[in-house]
A and B are shown apart, each in its own frame.
Chain A
Amino acid sequence: MAQIIRSSPVLAFIGLQICFIFFASTLTCTSGSEDSYTITGRVKIPPSNVIGHTAKFSNVKVILNGGDKITFLRPDGYFTFHKVPAGTHLIEVSAMGYFFSPVRVDVSARHRGKVQATLTETRRSLTEMVLEPLKEEQYYEIREPFNVMNIVKSPMGLMVGFMVVVVFLMPKLMENIDPEEMKQAQEEMRRQGVPSLTSLLPSAGASR
């Protein structure tokens, strides 16, 4: 019971958060005089797990029609374009570390500036103008953590590994062979005159 009581403020907080997301999130409000309307929206960046970029609203730009108008985000993530004529427009969000789909925005002249928004990449239409990144962008390759296998796999590692096998495992293998057979094989070898490793080295050859 005590546990539940203790966790209730947390629950309340989460509830509040959800409320905030659902109710406080934006309405594509438009008002306008004559032929110019207002597009209001909100950019929401989820808290990032990737090290290196935190969601900083001060570095986010919202771009209308390929640079015709540029605006910035308020601390709560809202943005507004003023004096937009009726027609079909394109809104892009430029935020380092995130990829946003461009948004097709139809401002209707007939319905007093009613705004319809569609993500052009996923063709998903938005009921409210809340723009969320499609994906996070990592600009750097991630270095693979230190791994013995990587070294072993590299050509030099393979060379060293082969040498180790020859030096340490081969004698072991030799030992496992029956001494009688070994002796026979060695005698055979001697008879055939197969040079041993020693004789391959010039200094060894000279010492013989």
Chain B
Amino acid sequence: MAIRVFLVLVLFLSSAIVSFSLYEDQAGLADWHQRYIGKVKHAVFHTQKTGRKRVIVSTEENVVASLDLRHGEIFWRHVLGTKDAIDGVGIALGKYVITLSSEGSTLRAWNLPDGQMVWETALHSAHHSKSLLSVPINLKVDKDYPITVFGGGYLHAVSALDGEVLWEKDFTAEGFEVQRVLQPLGSTVIYVLGFVNLSEAVVYQIDSKIGEVVAQKSMVFPGGFSGEISSVSSDKVVVLDSKKSILVTIGFIDGDISFQKTPVSDLVENSGNAEILSPLLSNMLAVKVNKRTIFVKVGGEGKLEVVDSLSDETAMSDSLPVADDQEAFASVHHEGSKIHLMVKLVNELDNVLLRETIQMDQHRGRVHKVFMNNYVRTDRSNGFRALIVMEDHSLLLLQQGAIVWSREEGLASVTDVTTAELPVEKDGVSVAKVEHTLFEWLKGHVLKLKGSLLLASPEDVVAIQELRVKSSGKNKLTRDHNGFRKLILALTRAGKLFALHTGDGRIVWSMLLKSQACERPNGISLYQWQVPHHHAMDKNPSVLVVGRCGSDSSAPGVLSFVDVYTGKEITSSDIGHSVVQVLPLPFTDSTEQRLHLIADTVGHVHLYPKTSEALSIFQREFQNIYWYTVGADDGIIRGHVMKSSCSGETADEYCFTTRELWTVVFPSESEKIISTLTRKPNEVVHTQAKVNTDQDLLYKYVSRNLLFVATVSPKGAGEIGSVTPEESSLVVYLIDTITGRILHRLSHQGCQGPVHAVFSENWVVYHYFNLRAHKYEVTVVEIYDQSRAENKNVWKLILGKHNLTAPITSYSRPEVFTKSQSYFFAQSVKTIAVTSTAKGITSKQLLIGTIGDQILALDKRFVDPRRTLNPSQAEKEEGIIPLTDSLPIIPQSYVTHSHRVEGLKGIVTAPSKLESTTHVFAYGVDLFYTRLAPSKTYDSLTDDFSYALLLITIVALVAAIYITWALSEKKELSEKWR
């Protein structure tokens, strides 16, 4: 019966090629788009008297952006390539933003008002080195002071007007490392200070006009330098020696080098290792020692003197000239839930220019960076504003004791996403009435009708949009009947968990991951921990957040259990072992907590939750738990089973050892694993059978234990263009993860990665590069179960001789066959996902994240191996599309319509309660959410459905009936009189 229903449905749905399409006025109704920039690395203020006040920032997501200083909005923004990390940013000539990127080898100028790139210069670079950018502070447009750039072992002088390299100087000598490039204000001499083998200080004096070395002096320092350096003035730097216990002041007035040693212990008693902090303060130095930040004043002859000391967790800005040749700097420190912002003069630390106390959200963590800017108030006194970057990557502007604006930049680095339900609407909680009166309701619908008839004026259109947003009630914080309102839980790299509302993308709650063991755990992944539905209805659902102390995979893990409704952390634990893999098991305990296994680096697995009930469930299924690991480096895939409890002193009863069950070894000289993929564990498959046009049945091989592996020849693992077609081949495998059996192997000669794949039901679709055609290709592989093929016989079904109810064991050798087909695709791809619906009935769409950061919805029917050049009539009725050599790119089926999800990293889909609809969430630097109906909303009326027209029709019909009745009666009467 289900098959028949499905068939009818398929026939019904296939009557037309449905593509996702949207009218322009529907944009923003079900979707939202948020723009971010990432954690700010550098900030340069541009606060001229004329024009808009803005701040230019560069971030860890390789974004250069211009932000409005008043509201924090983005004026313009450019996302550079992933390998194009920004090393420095500055403003030249008062009209160009200069960025140095790619380890000092690319210099670009952007037009300050609109972000148009003006020029781009590739700088010569020989080897990896520090990259330093110095843009002369010069507001005169006519005079061109060159920009000095050091990068890749070369010092360059570049004209700010057109990016022409005026001269370059080679500093690539063996062992020589340039540390600082300094140019005293107004001087024509550039000092280049470097160390030879960290033991000899060398200063070059270079004529800034022609780039010739005027003088060179060097001096050996017996203790050796540690490389930490701070320049305190234009002719002095302070360095730590190799033992980090002596501060060495290097003076190089007129090229003469002088050393002045000051042991740190002379400055602070009982000092340990010192560390020079990065802020540049004039004639002063900030040193972190004994968990205190001390300010050391550098005297005229290099004499050091401690002038102030602050607590360890103080963030400071660079110093900034304020009126009368004085310099000021800002420092921010925490005290409970408040932060204190202080602006002091460098020369007189007791003179506090500004002291502000601001209430700060605990979940933003510590202050990481401070950028200060001053402005002249109307009463001619100095005012200060500070841009601060918090531990959760958020960016805030503080001015006059308040947070003027804040940006949640943590959301630019999302690492994992899951969805969660909102609370059920409780009885007694009155729901805000959406429509107030019948009149307003009617008015709204008349407006809608006008809109759909294109009679609406622009004001009406605005009113309609507002009305639609309001009337849909899409922003309520309760569960709705269709499952359209949900929470998107996004874990960021900074270890902060955000809950976003699907209605408008606002942050419902956020929580910063904490740990006793380390200062700042990174967020890794998210799992559904407790989804109560049967006997634990009164419990709130919760998620498991897995974090790690440090970036290394052997670093100890952190677990945190978070209540989804409230955003409060229920418990958190430092688990004491590393986290390599987290395996959610298909078992739950009596409170609906899901059992999870966490594998560590030493080959043990740990069971969570640590309760005796979970342990007894686990012991019952002990023999049936399998897992696999992929060793991408050595090209081995290993299957594991449980062995026994851990032995040893530290082990508890929830720790188990494993043993290797099978291995698949790929020859390292010819194959290298570049991609592995399994099905989503929570995917719903509606039917296993597929009916052919000739009333034949095909059984999908629907197994949760299938692993897709793609390998390329080692030469082809690099970028396109680095290999010839003869040298590279791509091989894909389908491997059973219980037995390690290879079910299918397909080889593509002359192809290479990167491979982007999606695995759903019984099919895999993957995208790779064909070197012979020099085009991208997409291949679909569908896998079918042969062993059930005989079940087609009706007599067998009637006599019960079928094996449909026979138990399936994963050990038996499955008889499978595959079908595959390849197509060209005209774009590079960043990621592929597939829509998922509640029951799996609705046809599927592939969501292809393209290189242009757009998401294309492509019907699965375009990647169907049964497509032929001339489909028969029956096949056409079934909806098989005639075969074409390339997949179509229909602009209307971009689900992101006119938006770009800059820096796209992943696409997540989640079913709504309505079978036709699926939630789509894409993340990268930007966030984008929309709702999709891959086969149109066949189970509900669309938003544009015009109730007014229906009402008018009914009224008209009723009126017509009465008029006719009256007429008819009149006529009859007159007839009777006749």
Chain A positions within 8 Å of B, measured between CB atoms, are 38, 52-53, 57-58, 61, 63, 65-75, 80, 82-85, 87-90, 92, 94-97, 99, 101-102, 104, 118, 120-121, 137-141, 143, 145-146, 151, 154, 156, 159-160, 163-164, 166-167, 171, 186, 196-198, 201, 204, 207
Contact = CB atoms under 8 A, between A and B. Distances in A.
Residue among A53, A139, A146 facing the most chain B CB atoms (10 A cut-off): A139
Contacts of A151: 453
B806 to A, nearest CB: 47
B960 A70 contact: no
A102 to B, nearest CB: 6
A87 B122 contact: no
12 contacts: A58-B114, A65-B721, A94-B852, A95-B852, A96-B852, A99-B889, A104-B774, A140-B24, A143-B24, A146-B454, A167-B960, A167-B967
A193 to B, nearest CB: 14
Nearest to A102: B826
A163 B956 contact: yes
A33 B120 CA distance: 19
Nearest to B720: A65
Given A82-B106, A198-B968, 11 more contacts: A69-B81, A74-B117, A83-B105, A88-B724, A92-B852, A96-B852, A101-B826, A120-B826, A140-B23, A143-B454, A156-B950
A160 B953 contact: yes
A151 B78 CA distance: 47
A135 B828 CA distance: 18
Interface residues of B, number: 69
B743 to A, nearest CB: 30
A90 B774 contact: yes
A201 B965 contact: yes
Contacts of B960: 160, 163-164, 167
B891 to A, nearest CB: 4
A83 B114 CA distance: 28
A72 B77 CA distance: 12
Interface of B: 21-25, 27, 76, 78, 80-84, 105-106, 108, 114-120, 122, 453-455, 719-724, 754, 769, 771, 773-776, 826-828, 830, 850-853, 889, 891-892, 894, 897-898, 900, 949-950, 953, 956-957, 960, 963-965, 967-969, 972, 975
B119 A140 contact: no
Given A72-B120, A82-B122, A198-B968, A163 B957 contact: yes
Residue among A138, A140, A159, A204 facing the most chain B CB atoms (10 A cut-off): A140
B957 A159 contact: yes
Contact of A141 (B23, B106, B975): B23
Contacts of B719: 65-66, 68
A148 to B, nearest CB: 10
A138 B452 CA distance: 20
Contact of B27 (A38, A68, A140): A140
A63 B900 CA distance: 15
A68 B453 contact: no
B455 A146 contact: yes
Nearest to A38: B122
Contacts of B455: 146
A27 to B, nearest CB: 18
B58 to A, nearest CB: 15
A164 B852 CA distance: 54
A58 B76 contact: yes
B721 A90 contact: yes
Contacts of A139: 22, 891-892, 894, 897-898
A156 B81 CA distance: 55
Contacts of A53: 898
B827 A92 contact: yes
A90 B827 CA distance: 10
B122 A83 contact: yes
A69 B828 CA distance: 13
A85 B972 CA distance: 96
Contacts of B957: 159-160, 163
Q: Which 7 A-B pairs have the closest CB atoms?
A: A82-B122, A94-B852, A137-B891, A70-B81, A66-B828, A156-B953, A89-B721
A140 B897 contact: yes
Given A69-B81, A163-B956, A94 B892 contact: no
Contact of A204 (B900, B950, B953, B965): B965
A199 B647 CA distance: 95
Contacts of A159: 953, 957
B721 A63 contact: no
A197 B118 contact: no
Contacts of A92: 827-828, 851-852
A56 B724 CA distance: 37
Contacts of A104: 774
Nearest to A158: B953
Contacts of B27: 140
A95 B769 CA distance: 22
Contact of B80 (A52, A70, A167): A70
